[in-house]
Structure 1
Amino acid sequence: MGFVWLLLLALARLAFADTDLPQIIERTKPSIVAIGTYQATRSPQFVMRGTGFVVGDGRHVATNAHVLAELTDIAAGQMLVILAQTPARVTQQRAARVSVIDQAHDLALLRIDGSPLPALELHSSGPVREGQAVAFTGFPIGGVLGLSPVTHRGIISSITPIALPGANAGQLNAKLVRQIRDGSFDIYQLDATAYPGNSGGPLYEMSRGEVIGIINMVFVKDRKESTLSKPSGISFAIPVHFLRELLRQVAN
């Protein structure tokens, strides 16, 4: 009898999470932005680089550092921008600039012009656990599928240590070298498949929609024979406490 009650309780919790998810997605989408460059004389004028989400005071956008890796020297006539959708599905463009970058954890904060946008709440209570139900929202495969936020869900399949080296030798600094030398940090491995355009998007728990991580890297399938050398469908997220540290830096 005890087993039956536990099974019923588990099913009830799953049904509750599924019921809440549409409301959580509705609250989350206004905070999801596309990050890229804009040039009036180019076709297309906007070229997307990745996903971001609004945090803090509503004037900061979190994303991956590698999303901005090739934007450090923007060509003349181009500018770094974000595209956001209002609840009425009107797309607005905002100029942005890099506020702070954490290469060791592949995170970055942008400062955006204009009035504040709705910010997502960062998770701060309770541990993140393997098997926990999660969802993430972003722009898979960039603008190919259109600039409308898409949501995927899954579980945290593993919390595992990893080290993230810089994209090139020019990005190495004392802090990054120390991070690689001293060891790694925990990262969330997911069973849900993300795509390159999802990089920088929020990973959130499904009870309140609080952000617990930032989608970071994806191994995209090359061919079936390369499963071991190039695994597919394995997505990762950087724990949100590293992002919270960046927010403290810009607040000081």
Structure 2
Amino acid sequence: MVQSTTRSGLAFSQKLLALTLAAVLGGAVAVMGDRFLPRADASVEPVTALAPATAAPPAPAAPPIAGARAGLPQFGDIVARYGPAVVNISVTGMTKTAAGGGLPDLDDDDPLSQFFRHFGPRLQRPTPIRGLGSGFIVSADGLILTNAHVVADADEVTVKLTDKREFKAKVLGLDKVSDIAVLRIQAKDLPTVKLGNPDSTRVGDWVLAIGSPFGFENSVTAGIVSAKSRSLPDDGYVPFIQTDAAVNPGNSGGPLFNMNGEVVGINSQIYSRSGGFQGLSFAIPIDVARNVQAQIVSKGKVTRGQLGVAIQDVNQSLAQSFGLKSPHGALVSGVDDQGAGAKAGLKPGDIILKFNERQIDGSADLPPLVANTAPGSSATLRIWRNGKEQDLNVRVGEMKTDQTASAAAPTAAGKLGLSLRPLSPQERNSSGLNGGLVVQDATGPAARAGIEPGDVVLAVNGATVKDMSQLRQLIGKAGEHIALLVQRGEAQIFIPLDLG
């Protein structure tokens, strides 16, 4: 028994010595349950005596991904350099809400129907509105980009910088199709952002958003690009950048930066079932915004190209039916007889594969390319017809829409809050009016008084209005209270306005 115990003690001591040597010579060991395993990141080769004789050779290491960097990206330098160029935008205005539950539902031949049609809007009461958003400075002399929905229907727009300075902003123009607005503040030597190229942004790249979610000014969030060229319902002319950067109400109009500190998009929308962020946010590519900005600044409105065709996606079954090797392109399902596509020879059943050498993978790719083409310019279409490719030359038409941008300054009576235009010859003939100005938009005092688009301003304080210059003179001579004679439908009414 004594000899057996001594041998057992000797064996135990040898095992203990072996493990001690392994720890000293072979580096650290990791404990997993009741077993001893070599650490995967050990830098010292394991002791030969401890390695099993039948151990398989180690698998070759996977090649490193080009451009991969250890650790998370650092955003602080971008925020410090370009954060001061991100502004907070607050708006005030008036909206009309129906008093007493709205207008009654009457038949067209009911005599009261005509009364409510002519005077019904006066039963609506103006309600003050306030809103918050974001924007960013693109030129040192005060040019700012934001979303159109941030400043739409605003009577007053205030821009606040990170240094706490505040400025009243002028809306140079807005474009509801792309949801872009251009503002101007009277300042010099302002900090600006650097604009980048969205085409160089890849899915999976890190991006950074700065804005004022729920009024928390200059908040910074980060994420990655989840997808590109997303087409959203009612937004077919914008190839959105999808990200998972946290964006909430108040972030609208703020910049989306890449890791070079360049703005590649304008945060515009989120997809949410709750109204808050759920991991899906969408930004307008900055090249779309730059195009809108250039047109608004130079000519006060935005024009877009149009082919005059209806298109749909090509799925596998349609590709097989038309003899395509793979489903891609935009299938023409309808052609406007007077449109640019019809004049170029496009027919239902054609599949548009390229537009000016740009590949069309799906039907959502085509509308933004055509829209960003100047009306009247020439373009080349590569189409699939009768089992083979061919090229068509097309002169791009102009999109007709009531959502194109307009600058209020040239035609607005700013003191009244009215955007006006002269009557066309057809309107003069049909109405029997010799003068007057048609209301295109009403904000401020005019909106609060109940004036609405379509009304015709005939006189100011009893003096007949024939053109814009005469209207400006009459307003200049008037005091804080004036009365406008307005024709609405078949009726003429005086509407008092308080300009105080």
Task: State if a TM-score over 0.5 links the two structures.
Answer: yes
| One of 151, 159, 171 as aligned partner of 2:220 | 151
What stretches of structure 1 move > 3 A for 4+ residues in a row?
4-7
| One of 236, 258, 269 as aligned partner of 1:205 | 258
1:234 aligns with 2:234: no
Residue ranges of structure 1 left out of the alignment (5+ in a row):
40-46, 166-179, 224-229
Deviation at 1:193, TM superposition (A): 2.1
The residue type equivalent to 2:144 in the other structure is V
Is the CA contact (8 Å cut-off) linking 1:106 and 1:164 kept in structure 2? no
Task: Describe the superposition over 1:206-231 as per-residue Cα deviations: whole angstroms up to 9, x where unpaired.
Answer: 1x2100000001234429xxxxxx99
> What corresponds to 1:27 in structure 2?
81
Change in CA separation of 1:98 and 1:116 when aligned onto 2, cut-off 3 Å:
farther
Change in CA separation of 1:126 and 1:199 when aligned onto 2, cut-off 3 Å:
closer
Residue ranges of structure 2 left out of the alignment (5+ in a row):
1-59, 94-129, 299-500
Q: Distance in 1 between matches of 2:294 and 2:261?
A: 22
| One of 145, 160, 177 as aligned partner of 2:229 | 160
1:69 aligns with 2:152: yes
The residue type equivalent to 1:102 in the other structure is D
Change in CA separation of 1:66 and 1:37 when aligned onto 2, cut-off 3 Å:
closer
Change in CA separation of 1:164 and 1:70 when aligned onto 2, cut-off 3 Å:
farther
Q: Distance in 2 between matches of 1:83 and 1:164?
A: 33
Deviation at 1:38, TM superposition (A): 6.6
> What corresponds to 1:10 in structure 2?
68
**SS of equivalent residue, structure 1 residue 242:** helix
Is the CA contact (8 Å cut-off) linking 1:154 and 1:192 kept in structure 2? yes
The residue type equivalent to 1:6 in the other structure is I
CA RMSD of aligned residues (A): 2.8
Change in CA separation of 1:68 and 1:95 when aligned onto 2, cut-off 3 Å:
same
Is the CA contact (8 Å cut-off) linking 2:206 and 2:224 kept in structure 1? yes
Q: Distance in 2 between matches of 1:101 and 1:37?
A: 15
1:115 aligns with 2:188: yes
1:104 aligns with 2:177: yes
> What corresponds to 2:242 in structure 1?
189
The residue type equivalent to 1:158 in the other structure is A
> What corresponds to 2:158 in structure 1?
81
Is the CA contact (8 Å cut-off) linking 1:34 and 1:48 kept in structure 2? no
Is the CA contact (8 Å cut-off) linking 2:198 and 2:285 kept in structure 1? no
> What corresponds to 1:50 in structure 2?
133
The residue type equivalent to 1:36 in the other structure is S
Change in CA separation of 1:125 and 1:82 when aligned onto 2, cut-off 3 Å:
closer
Which structure ranks higher in relative contact order (CA pairs < 8 Å, sequence separation ≥ 6)? 1
Task: Describe the superposition over 1:127-176 as per-residue Cα deviations: whole angstroms up to 9, x where unpaired.
Answer: 221111101101111x2x3x3x11111111011332564xxxxxxxxxxx
Change in CA separation of 1:163 and 1:102 when aligned onto 2, cut-off 3 Å:
farther
**SS of equivalent residue, structure 2 residue 78:** helix
Q: What number of residue pairs does the alignment pair up?
A: 204
How high is the TM-score relative to the length of structure 2?
Answer: 0.38
Q: Distance in 2 between matches of 1:36 and 1:221?
A: 26
Rg larger for: 2
Same amino acid, percent of matched pairs: 31
**SS of equivalent residue, structure 1 residue 198:** coil
Task: Describe the superposition over 1:176-217 as per-residue Cα deviations: whole angstroms up to 9, x where unpaired.
Answer: xxxx7xx543111111221011000000101x2100000001
Change in CA separation of 1:99 and 1:216 when aligned onto 2, cut-off 3 Å:
same
Q: Which region of structure 1 is more displaced relative to structure 2, 242-251 or 106-115?
A: 242-251
Q: Distance in 1 between matches of 2:132 and 2:153?
A: 9
How high is the TM-score relative to the length of structure 1?
Answer: 0.72
Q: Distance in 1 between matches of 2:186 and 2:178?
A: 26
**SS of equivalent residue, structure 2 residue 294:** helix
Is the CA contact (8 Å cut-off) linking 1:221 and 1:233 kept in structure 2? no
Deviation at 1:66, TM superposition (A): 0.5
